[in-house]
Structure 1
Amino acid sequence: MPIPALRQPAPATGSPATQTPSPASQSGSPRLRLVRPDSHLDSDDSSVAIAPFADRDAIGIRRPWMTWTYLITSVVLGIAIVTLTGCQWAASSQNSQGAAMYNQGQYTGAMEQFQKAIASNPKDPDGYYNLAATTHRLGNQRQDPNLIRQSEALYNQCLDHDPNHVDCHRGLAVLLVDSGRPDRAFTLLKNWASQNPNLAEPRIELARLYEEHGEPQTALKYLEDAVQTDANNPRAWLALARLRENGGDPVQALQNYQRVLALSGGSMGGNSQLATERVAALSRQINSAYDAQLNAGGTQIASPAFGSTRY
């Protein structure tokens, strides 16, 4: 089973924090009506009397210590938000640089970038996943059990931060199978599916695992369940189309590939191109089979009867 592709998160697009409007500036907010001691509550005068500035205990006067408290709180919150956004930007950039190095086969350099991404944002699951996948690949290349154990721990850290991380579940399942623990891989994905009955992704991954272990009918069951769970999931329809094509059902496969294109609108990149190619190929295959069936049935075109006396 191949190690899944690395995640390359898009840079965060956060903007500086804006000050929350004061209650007096919001439309529809109730206003305090200040009443002079010599006025009457039933007076028709709707004007607001302003208390003297010297009276610090008067209603409507904001005390200086409250002003400074609000100001300090706003500054602290602003700094926190800007710092968090900066960490996200840094982690995103480092993950992208690491992914580029990984694709070039520079695994040691990629690991360094992913370690920096985790340091920049320790709660980002993609950083842990990227480092896990790279360590996994390097461990397989070097046949190093220590690296394999490290990658397993990193996959689990990723799932601690994002329990529904699809690529991480797939990568960890691959590692468990490769290290002779396929039963653990099935348990991992089944637990994920049972904890998320409305999510199609665990069923797609279970189908992949069953197919690779020579159980296409069980895989088909999980994929049919996946498209019933989420009828608008193009990944589920693509997996179902491929499985049906491999199983010798070109008509159903064609319909499923067409469903992929209708749902994705070309947004699945290489998978959309694959679906387009398979639609064209299966259409030719089905038409050829239909033509061959007609010819094999002995259908003949009537010859003109030139000796007829009808005209």
Structure 2
Amino acid sequence: MPIPAIRQPVIDSGLPASQNPSTQPVPSKPRLRLWRPESSPETNSSLLENSELDDRHGIGLRRPWMTWSYLIASLIAGITITTLAGCHWASASQNSQGAAMYNQGQYTGAMEQFQKAIASNPKDPDGYYNLAATTHRLGNQRQDPNLIRQSEALYNQCLDHDPNHVDCHRGLAVLLVDSGRPDRAFTLLKNWAAQNPTLAEPRIELARLYEEHGEPQTALKYLEDAVQTDANNPRAWLALARLRESSGDPVQALQNYQRVLALGGGVGGSSALATERVAALSRQINSANDARLNSGGTQIASPAFGSTRY
């Protein structure tokens, strides 16, 4: 079971994650709709005429404590929103830079960027996951048990912030298996599935783990359960198609791949893979049908020359 890929950040502003957030405009503070005294029928017009305050200062004339409280609260909310947006953009940029360095094999530099991302947004689970996966990779390369322990702690921090983080569950399960604790890996994923009976993802990951441990029938059971739990999950159908193909069931596998395409193909290269397998399995099934017809003993009648019919 390989360590899943580094997570690319998603920026709430709708901008691509690869775009530099520093060049984007900072969200403006919310406009305030202030109460004006002339809008209320209860206001005494003589009071307005005799007041030393002109119209620009009329916001607090009727109930100044309410108006100024609303003004101050709105300003604080605007500052908070702007600050949080800035933190999110900084974290997303640092995660993007770290992911690029990770893909180039610059793991130490990637770790530094992911540490900065966590510092910018301590509640972002992807920052913890990215740092955990990079530390895990370095720990495996260097055979360093301290790095492995650090990555395990980071995976758990990621799950503290997002209990349904799919890549993090998979990465932690891989670590537990690699460190000689497969029983803990199965327990991790089974507990996840039990806590989320309507979620297909835990069952997909359990099926992957069982298949890698030489139990394809148990894996098949979990994948069938996954597509029943969420019939519109292309990952579940793709995993089921691949398992059925490897188990020698091309007809069912073809139908499952076709289901993946009907659902839009999923993410990453799933659509291309499903398209390629549909074409390959269709050729395989058609060739098998042709061979069966040719070897089935069917005889073609020879023309009877000299027939009196014509």
TM-score (norm 1): 0.87
Shift of residue 267, structure 1, vs aligned partner: 5.0
Tell me how far apart the structure 1 counterparts of residues 201 and 179 of structure 2 sit (CA, whole Å). Answer: 24
Write the letter of the residue equivalent to 1:228: Q
Q: Secondary structure at the match of 2:168?
A: helix
CA RMSD of aligned residues (A): 2.0
Shift of residue 270, structure 1, vs aligned partner: 1.2
Match of 1:193 in 2: 193
Q: What are the within-5 Å matches in structure 2 for residues 285-300 of structure 1?
A: 285-300=284-299
1:226 aligns with 2:226: yes
Change in CA separation of 1:225 and 1:23 when aligned onto 2, cut-off 3 Å: farther
Q: Secondary structure at the match of 2:47?
A: coil
Match of 1:19 in 2: 31
Match of 1:27 in 2: none
Write the letter of the residue equivalent to 2:47: P
Q: What are the within-5 Å matches in structure 2 for residues 155-170 of structure 1?
A: 155-170=155-170
Shift of residue 116, structure 1, vs aligned partner: 0.3
Tell me how far apart the structure 1 counterparts of residues 180 and 230 of structure 2 sit (CA, whole Å). Answer: 32
Match of 1:9 in 2: 9
Shift of residue 136, structure 1, vs aligned partner: 0.2
Change in CA separation of 1:102 and 1:151 when aligned onto 2, cut-off 3 Å: same
Q: Secondary structure at the match of 1:301?
A: coil
CA contact (8 A) 1:88 1:120 kept: yes
Write the letter of the residue equivalent to 2:299: Q
Tell me how far apart the structure 2 counterparts of residues 294 and 12 of structure 1 sit (CA, whole Å). Answer: 58
CA contact (8 A) 1:244 1:250 kept: yes
CA contact (8 A) 2:32 2:71 kept: no
Change in CA separation of 1:23 and 1:295 when aligned onto 2, cut-off 3 Å: farther
CA contact (8 A) 2:30 2:74 kept: no
Match of 1:116 in 2: 116
Q: Deviations over 1:46-93 (max 9, x none)?
A: xx864613689xxx9434454433322222111110000000001001
CA contact (8 A) 1:11 1:93 kept: no
Shift of residue 18, structure 1, vs aligned partner: 2.4
Q: Could you tell me which runs of 5 or more consecutive residues in structure 2 were left unpaired when the two chains were aligned.
A: 15-26, 53-59
Match of 1:104 in 2: 104
Match of 2:274 in 1: 275
Shift of residue 122, structure 1, vs aligned partner: 0.2
TM-score (norm 2): 0.88
> Which has the greater radius of gyration?
1
Write the letter of the residue equivalent to 1:16: S
Q: What are the within-5 Å matches in structure 2 for residues 174-213 of structure 1?
A: 174-213=174-213
1:52 aligns with 2:52: no
Write the letter of the residue equivalent to 2:206: L
Tell me how far apart the structure 1 counterparts of residues 202 and 282 of structure 2 sit (CA, whole Å). Answer: 31
Change in CA separation of 1:20 and 1:267 when aligned onto 2, cut-off 3 Å: farther
Q: Deviations over 1:255-287 (max 9, x none)?
A: 0000001102x4523111111111011001100
Change in CA separation of 1:210 and 1:267 when aligned onto 2, cut-off 3 Å: closer
CA contact (8 A) 2:200 2:227 kept: yes
Tell me how far apart the structure 2 counterparts of residues 177 and 17 of structure 1 sit (CA, whole Å). Answer: 50
Match of 2:21 in 1: none
Change in CA separation of 1:23 and 1:172 when aligned onto 2, cut-off 3 Å: farther
Q: Secondary structure at the match of 1:52?
A: helix
Write the letter of the residue equivalent to 2:280: A
Match of 1:73 in 2: 73
1:258 aligns with 2:258: yes
Q: Deviations over 1:194-224 (max 9, x none)?
A: 0000000000000000000000000000000
